[in-house]
Structure 1
Amino acid sequence: MRQTSEAPFLGRHEELARMGTWLDRAADGEPRIVVVDGTAGIGKTSLIRRFLAGRARDCRMLTASGEELERDLAYGLITQLMGHLPGAAGAVLPEAADGAASGPAVQDPVSVGAVFLDALGRFQDRKPVVLVIDDIHWADTPSLHALTFVLRRLRVDRVLTVLATRDSADPRLPQGLHRLVQDETTLRLTLEGLGVPELMALNAALGPASLPRRTMVRLRDHTLGNPLHVKALLQQFPADVLGGRAVLPAPRRYERIIAERLTACAPGTRRLVQAASVLGMSSPLHLAAEVGAVAEPLTALTGAMTCELLEEGPIGTPPQVAFPHPLLRAAVYRGLEPAERSHLHRVAAGLTVDPWIALQHRVHAAARPDGQLADDLAEFASQQSAKGAWSAAASASMAAARLAAEPGRQARWLLQGVEYLLLAGDVSQAAELERTVRGLAPDAEQHYVLGHLALTTGRLDEARRELATCWDTCDATTGPETLRKAAEQMAWLCLIQGDAPRIIHWAERGLALPPGERSSFLRDSLAIGLALSGDYEQGMRSLAHLPDTGPRDTPQQLDGLLARGMLRLWNGQLHEARKDLKEAFDAHRRGGLPYAALVALGFLTDAAYRAGQWDEAIAHGTHAVSLAEDTDQISILAVVHAVTAYLLAGRGDFRAAEAHAESAAEHARVLSDVNDSAFAATARALVHAARGEHENVIEQLSPFLRPEIVHRYGIEEPGLVAWRPLLCEALARTGRTEEAQAVLAPYERRAAERNRPLEQAAAARCRGLLEEARGHAEAAGQAFRDGLRHCAQGDGCWEEALLHLAYGTFLRRSGRRRSAAAELEAAHRTFRRLRATPYLERCDRELTACGHVTVRPRTTWHPVLTAQELTVARLAVQGMTNQQIARELVLSVKTIEYHLSNSYSKLGISSRMGLIDKLARDA
């Protein structure tokens, strides 16, 4: 056997050059992603190391790797990355070492991602950052979601992200990450095997024998040019074996090659390497020595390094050991005799302080089904679920199912694990298990899980069948928890479809059962169902148990809070609605229901839009879209895209608004749901209305007048979605007054019956436009004044500005220019503050027609600042530091600095004092 030596890096010149180009762009403030994929041993890690070696002086490095045995360790990958950030790891993730049993496991990916984003922003202050993640296909799911969250928010950061994986289409990767991989700004490098010239150079470097070209061709064909396999064969076999006529050893015998190399080591070295393989790709030297009973760990490590079996980790305390390649570690691990492997895992379990990692070692040590261990795993899963640590709960339940001796327990814990995956937002992994779930003996629990999965993935008809079957097939053995959760999902399904009577029916059935331990959507569903059926007061009375303020640490303090915020929104209590919805989002995100958190954020966006807090609304809307896409929450995507489009249409950002409206329409088509279609159509109509394209508004919204829709769905409830006032306005402005009257009358009646001031104000504005179109000047004027009176009953709002514009326009056309100017100037102030460009321009034209020259002062900022620049500038004026602004908007500090710099340049100022002066003058 040849002596081992350091092999040179061979080939891959084009790949290195392309990676270098991508790094140069990142260094100039254009964050980029490189994905390197290929089969195991093909050279992904070597390529990345070579690339980093050439750039080490010019960049700062952050490296981490996925670990097969640590895929269930929540935030294990993020914890690795944070360990490279000076002063960050201990400060922001103080409980990371405790794994799933403590802090990070309970945190959601958004919170963890925000912390990492903040630290990453500070890390790039002097040099660009190269963020490298090897074997991302083995990373834990919470880390993948947090990483996706971070990568989507890098705007002008000097960050190059390099991801290595065996398959970039791996279904375990979140859909949001798949979209990033497919983005045009991502460089994808799929590595093939080395060619014969490179393999001949490898042979020459290893020495001493120089093999002929025909032998290297044979090796190339045999291994497909896999450099790791070729190197192993060259080191293991003499030239006559490799060049003879005998069949070459199969590449899969790489394990045997490593085993023979390991056998040649001293006993202490061998035990150290074997123990390290049980602990993972890297581990503390002292822990590996204890597990392997190695008396002289440094001597053993030296021997392992000589044989290229281990590497010394970064210099630090305590010393670390690491395997050069995952395949090498896997070969050592698989080469252990089963009894020895089990023994080492048992020893490791006894030495590990983290409860979850200790349980995992016990799982790997188990030689047969183990009822006690399965019970311990199930208990751990229960503890984690109680804290909202759904990912850790899912992993523990799945392990319990594998180890349970009784088929009934296997099925129960598997089903529980799939539900936890759905609650964790890990929809893709749950979907992969659907066939397994269908193979179980049918019972109520199975039908519930299949229904929950179908609902989460947007298959509404299938979800209804499965959830109904859950109730129909329940018997004395069916626990009330299963039925309560089935009722909860059925109520949610009915809510998506706006079927108020069925929402109430299922919510009441679920609430009639004994209460559960986790948060539930049943109280929310009941209140929303009552409100959609017209009984707003009864809906609010059903929420009387809620305290006015937090904390929201128990189901009793949380359940129903989202509904209260929504009902207050529909009732025009915008300040109270925003408060409730923000609390509901925060509380559900900490450990409640993921889909409830997103619903809260979506309607919080709508509330801020109606309240005229558009910077806040845009921040919420983009956040909601990102979260829903990153966690595959299909059922809420139409709504969050639609309400985000509302804002962008108002700002005149028509291209972005249309993109969101089209996305909303596409998701509504997937769900085949009228309510979502109404949100999407309203978003499209608002784009046309802002452009003054009234015929297009009519085309978008007229289909909702069909009797089968009008008499069945919740879109008729005033305050939910504003399609009727939009349609009525468009009909009035195009002279179709009889049609406008038919659209307006039921809306006026319902708004008055519900006593909803803002809806009455919108109805009054539409009445004014209609009467003006009919030539009834007195009735029109009275309607506009009634609308403003309704607005005065609450906080300032967007509807009030629209009323001032409509009334001012009416007065100007009636020849009352002085009165008109007063109304138009009130509208103008709001439009300028909100940067509602289409409406501002319309208002300017009306003021000019009144004889008022609307010369905007040179200090005006809204025509030149982007939405993001304006949001950042306003927060800066409030006295927030760059870091505080970054945390508030969940962006990097670098991005905040970039936006402020652009704002200074555009406004001709050089400091925050100048910014305060500019914004104060225009307020």
Structure 2
Amino acid sequence: MVACTGSGCRRGGAELPRQTPDSLFLGRQEELSRMTSRLEAAARGAPQVVLVDGPAGIGKTSLARRFLADAAAECCVAKASGEELEMELAYGLVAQLAPQLPDVPEGLREPALGTPGGAAARDPIAVGALLLDALGQAQSRAPVVVLIDDVHWADTPSLHALTFALRRLRRDRLLAVLLTRDAHDPRLPHGLHRILHDETTMKLTLEGLALPDIVALQAALGPSALPRWAIARLREHTHGNPLHTKALLQQAPADVLSGHAVLPAPRRYERLVSARLARCGAAARDLVKAASVLGVTCSLHQAAQVGEVPDPLGALTEAMTYDLLEEAPADAVPRLAFPHPLLRAAVYRGLRPAERSRLHHRAAACSEDRYGALQHRVHAAVAPDGELTDELIRFAAEQAEKGAWAAAAASAIAAAGLSPEAGLRERWLVRAVEYRLLAGDVSQAAELEQTVRDMAPDAEQQYVLGHLALTTGRLEEARRRLAACWESCDADTGAETLRKAAEQMAWLCLIQGDAPNIVKWARLGLDLPRGSRSSFLPDSLAIGLAISGRYEEGIRSLAHLPLSGPRQTPGQLDGLLARGMLQLWNGQLPEARRDLREAFAAHRGGGLPYAALVALGFLTDTEYRSGLWDEAVAHGTQAVSLAEDTDQISILAVVHAFTAFPLAGRGDYEDAEAHARAAMQHARTLADVNDGAFAATALALVHTARGDDERTVAELSPFLSEEIAHRSGLEEVGIVAWRPLLSEALTRLGRTDEALDVLIPYESGATARRRWLEQATAARCRGLLEEAYGHREAADQAFRNGLRLCAQGTTCWEEALLHLSYGTFLRRTGKRRKAVAELEAAHTNFLRLRATPYLERCTRELAACGRVTARPGGVRHAGLTAQELTVARLARRGMSNREIARELVLSIKTIEYHLGNAYAKLGISSRMGLIAKLDEEG
């Protein structure tokens, strides 16, 4: 398979009739058939991903073009390609896709997605959500095919946004075709790697042309047939690579190919393109050259300005005649594009240095945004430029203040490359590594690690290497590097560097459960002048104090925070996450939900990416404890997905664990255990004691819901070890609920004395802290224990104390458990009438939460009381899933499908699918029925 891209093909110096791409497409029928089958599946509402990989010139692009021309001819097609020259241009790939999609959201219509006022100032999740919305709208008309060529050269923010969108396709009519030289390229984000290597992704690894295909290719290119043995030798020489094979057939005389001398190497592709360009008139040549400076796609007007072309339409027509340019989809003004990124690169690299620099200078002058102008000036530079370096440094600093880390990193790297001062070069290369880490581009940051290591050691270098080591799980190296930052500081070391080093050291101590040193490093950092960006130091201090048992002091440390928003400055935001966490641990559930929601939104809007995900994780825990399980499942799933999509590895354990909590309560054992075990694996990777406790608690909740007390005990008993129990705040009540779970399991196993030993420290802590929710949990465990001992009056008193505490607090999951435990106790003591009242209260809550294991136990207890509780046909909304119920509730509020899709960050087709299922299960046919049905069933 190969396609001729020239206006005419030559062999042996003779001009040949122009061949169409179709006439030269050879082989690959099996690949086309398999791709077509995937497109048919996508058209039925099962989204598909196809990966095509192979070396340069093997025919990936030609295969994709033939597929689009044949099987996908009736589809909505959006094409984009990575480009080596634009790898640092934030959202360059998304900017190519957007104009090709109908009804593009306003946020993707900006002149340049990489501008400071555009998407560069947003995180990839926001851009991914907009892209998802656009794809959802497009498929309402026809199946959508998204083709991304040269994925390995795409800018990382676009890849994160694309990954975000692809992971949220459920019932969508969409096929994504991704072309790359190496599917294992370490530069690709981890989230995209997971998609590329998922078992549902179809992988096509292209190999060289077969001998019959080369015979057909040679016949198509020239009248003189080569001997079969010569074609076999040519195939061996080129390994069947279509690009190299075609180049030799075009350029080498027949007697050379059929002779016995060593075959020549193919001339560079640039020479073939140069020959075509030379056949164009001056205006067309100028337009093509200007376009090559502006990118794979650009507006016709801008290319004409840069190339000083008086008749751009005429020049474009001539360039299209020679297959050098083609018209690109446009909303309004005409746009042009190169048929292939390789063609654009050939033209660009064929420019004389002076000509290339001059065109970039013109492009900078014509650019409508500061970011684009700076990039063109960088490409135009021919020597170190102090003035331009200073502008890039200012721009990088501005972007960093906004939290636009990808744009900051690109500018920092450019500044390093253009600086006339060696010291300045090193300093901004080091900053670029930090910015890449904050942007979630861990693999790209790691690419520069050796370069940074080779620099003369100083405080900032040690800080960045420590930050990178911590992010990648090398904790001991991180500790050594961050400590060296402090030890090597001198009069020239900026206070901001030391603050950030202290921030990372406090985070490291938090991971390792070293509460005294969390407080120590947080205070060391806070004693330094405040920096310009958000900092985790106030949060670290409050959390460190809280898990050390100094809760009130921790709350006082956050007195600077206003009660509510806006959260537009670090002073209004820093510490908000910690306040939400401390309120959660203190049982102030509504207040915790408010602060954690605000912290998530504010950190997503320009704060610290990892802090945003921690906030979403603890919001999940808050909603689980509050008995808001639909919200907990939705937010937990979202937190896991966002952490994976942005490579925030250090957050994954805790968000996986919290997501398992409500799933375990609902009896979704397979999903719950998968999340819990993923949490355990991540905790082990980081040697994180805190995350290990959350993961073990998640597994214990699964075992408890299953009624497997032996496994609950086995999971939690290690925390009785003196070495573990007094680390990381595991004994601070309200943080990790391992003691009540373990005490309850031991009681059920008849190991009452052990259960009592486990319970007493928890009871004492809950009482000392006056935490109503923990006191209520302790009272339930005490009631179960006293019942096991045969102390009926003490058990009755304990259960009633727990319910009294719940009545004084807010709605919570613990109250339902208390009603069940107390009702079971009353039934066993012969007080059936009282038992029924308690059990029915529990039954109502279990129905509302869809807590199937507990609902079944409650039903059995009611039956033992002589009360048969038949589950109504519409129980818990007829078995709606969490997503179906969430979608139905939002629809009930009057939100459109598009508004719901944006709220839940899902595609419109997925919303339609969930809503359709909800209608069927509820026995209704339209939104009108949702109002009565959802009200009727709770």
TM-score range, shorter chain: over 0.9
What corresponds to 2:434 in structure 1?
419
1:783-832: CA deviation from partner (whole Å, max 9, x where unpaired)? 11111111122210001111111111111111111111111111111110
Matched, 1:21 2:37: yes
- Within a 5 Å distance, the mapping from 1:21-420 to structure 2 comes to 21-89=37-105, 91-97=106-112, 99-251=114-266, 253-314=268-329, 318-420=333-435
The residue identity in structure 1 corresponding to 2:357 is S
Contact preservation (8 Å) 1:40, 1:327: no
Which of 826, 835, 839 is the matching residue for 1:820? 835
Report deviation, 1:869: 1.8
Q: Is 1:676–2:691 an aligned residue pair? A: yes
Provide, for residues 663-706 of structure 1, a one-character-per-residue CA deviation record: whole Å limited to 9, x for no partner. Answer: 01101110112211111110110000001111111000000000
Give the aligned partner of residue 903 of structure 2. 888
Mapped contact 2:847–2:876 kept (Cα < 8 A): no
Amino acid at match of 2:201: T
Deviation (angstroms), 1:323: 2.3
SS of residue matched to 1:676:
helix
Does the C-alpha gap of structure 1 residues 201 and 710 become closer, same or farther in structure 2, counting only changes over 3 Å?
same
* Structure 2 residue identity aligned to 1:438: R
- Within 1, Cα distance between the matches of 2:569 and 2:371? 25
Instruction: Give the aligned residue type for 2:49.
Output: I
Bigger mean CA offset, 211-220 vs 98-107: 211-220
2:509 matched residue in structure 1:
494
SS of match in other structure, 1:720: coil
Q: Which residue of 1 aligns with 2:709?
A: 694
| Offset, 1:257 | 3.4
C-alpha spacing 1:704/1:26, structure 2 compared with 1 (3 Å): same
- Segments of 5+ residues of structure 1 without an aligned counterpart are none
- Tell me the alpha carbon deviations over residues 147-193 of structure 1, each in whole angstroms, 9 at most, x when there is no partner: 11111111111111111112111112111110111111100111112
- Deviation string for 1:9-64 (max 9, x for gaps)? 11110000000111111111111100111222221111111111113453222222
Distance 1:736 1:665 in 2: 27
Q: What is residue 722 of structure 2 aligned with on the other side?
A: 707
Query: What amino acid maps onto 2:25 in structure 1?
Result: F
Q: Secondary structure at the match of 1:55?
A: coil
Distance change >3 Å, CA 277–CA 79, structure 1 → 2: closer
Match of 2:446 among 428, 431, 449: 431
Deviation track 1:303-357 (CA, whole Å, cap 9, x = no partner) reads: 4334333334347754333322222222222222222222222222222222222
For residues 562 and 729 of structure 2, the distance between their equivalents in structure 1, rounded to whole angstroms, comes to: 28
SS at match of 1:879: coil
Checking the alignment, whether the CA contact within 8 Å between 1:73 and 1:100 is kept in structure 2 is no
Letter in 2 for 1:876: A
Tell me if 1:11 matches 2:40: no
| Partner-residue secondary structure (3-state), 1:599 | helix
Which SS does the other structure have where 2:268 is aligned?
Answer: helix
Cα pair distance change 1:430/1:844, threshold 3 Å:
same
Structure 1 SS opposite 2:147 = strand
In structure 1, C-alpha distance between the alignment counterparts of 2:838 and 2:640, rounded to whole Å: 36
What letter matches 2:497 in structure 1? T
What is the RMSD of the two structures over their aligned residues, measured on CA atoms? 1.8
1:877 maps onto 2:920 in alignment: no
Q: For residue 130 of structure 1, give the secondary structure of its aligned residue in structure 2.
A: strand
Partner of 1:907: 922
Partner of 2:10: none
- Could you say which residue in structure 2 is the equivalent of 1:579? 594
* Cα distance in 1 between the residues matched to 2:54 and 2:667: 45
The offset of 1:533, in angstroms, is 1.3
Bigger mean CA offset, 786-795 vs 329-338: 329-338
Q: Distance in 2 between matches of 1:184 and 1:46?
A: 25
Distance across 1 between alignment mates of 2:364 and 2:41? 47
**CA pair 314-9 structure 1, distance change in 2 beyond 3 A:** farther
- Cα deviation for residue 195 of structure 1 reads 2.0
Name the CA distance, whole Å, in 2 between partners of 1:753 and 1:716: 13
Q: Distance in 2 between matches of 1:242 and 1:377?
A: 53
Name the CA shift for 1:624/1:525 in 2 (closer, same or farther; >3 Å). Answer: same
Q: Secondary structure at the match of 2:724?
A: helix
- Provide the rounded CA distance (Å) in 1 between the counterparts of 2:912 and 2:326: 40
Distance 1:321 1:96, change over 3 A: closer
Question: What CA deviation, in whole Å up to 9, does each residue of 1:259-279 have, x standing for no partner?
Answer: 344344433333333222222
| Structure 2 letter corresponding to 1:40 | A
Shift of 1:462: 1.6
Instruction: Tell me if structure 1 keeps the 8 A contact 2:617–2:655.
Output: yes
Name the SS for the 1:591 alignment partner.
Answer: coil
Contact 2:626 2:811 in 1 (8 A): yes
AA matched with 1:83 = P
CA contact (8 A) 1:761 1:790 kept: yes
Letter in 2 for 1:552: R
2:487 is the alignment partner of 1:472:
yes
How many angstroms apart in 2 are the aligned matches of 1:602 and 1:783?
32
Q: SS of the counterpart of 1:714?
A: coil
Q: With structure 1 as the length reference, what TM-score do the two structures score? A: 0.97
The more displaced of 787-796 and 741-750 is: 787-796
Note the C-alpha offset of 1:863. Answer: 5.7
Would you say how many aligned residue pairs link Structure 1 and Structure 2? Answer: 922
> 2-side partners of 1:863 and 1:353: how far apart?
56
Alignment-mate amino acid for residue 540 of structure 1 = I
* Mapped contact 2:623–2:629 kept (Cα < 8 A): yes
8 Å contact from structure 1 (residues 223, 251) kept in 2: no
SS of residue in 2 equivalent to 1:871: helix
CA change 1:437–1:830 in 2 (3 A) is: same
Deviation of 1:252 after TM superposition, in Å, equals 5.5
Deviation at 1:300, TM superposition (A): 3.6
Q: Indicate the SS of the match to 1:520.
A: coil
CA distance in 1, matches of 2:330, 2:111: 21
50-59 vs 755-764, which moves further: 50-59
Residues 362 and 245 (structure 1), Cα distance of their counterparts in 2 relative to 1, 3 Å cut: farther
Q: Is the 8 A contact 1:861 1:918 kept in 2?
A: no
C-alpha distance in structure 2 between counterparts of 1:299 and 1:237, whole Å: 35
> Structure 1 stretch 598-607 or stretch 225-234: which is displaced more?
225-234
The alignment partner of 1:64 has SS state of strand
Instruction: Name the aligned partner's letter for residue 20 of structure 2.
Output: E
**Which is further off, 508-517 or 888-897?**
888-897
- The answer as to 2:847 corresponding to 1:832 is yes
Contact 1:859 1:921 in 2 (8 A): no
Comparing 80-89 and 685-694, the one that deviates more = 80-89
Aligned partners of 2:164, 2:245: CA distance in 1, in Å?
39
Partners in 2 of 1:657 and 1:361 — Cα distance? Answer: 51
Query: What displacement does 1:419 show?
Result: 0.4
CA contact (8 A) 1:98 1:354 kept: no
Displacement of 1:780 in angstroms is 0.7
Q: Does the residue aligned with 1:161 lie in a helix, a strand or coil?
A: strand
Name the CA distance, whole Å, in 1 between partners of 2:102 and 2:728.
56
Deviation sequence 1:849-896 (CA, Å, 0-9, x none): 111110112222456322222222233333333222222221112111
Task: After TM superposition, list the pairs within 5 Å mapping 1:786-801 onto structure 2.
Answer: 786-801=801-816
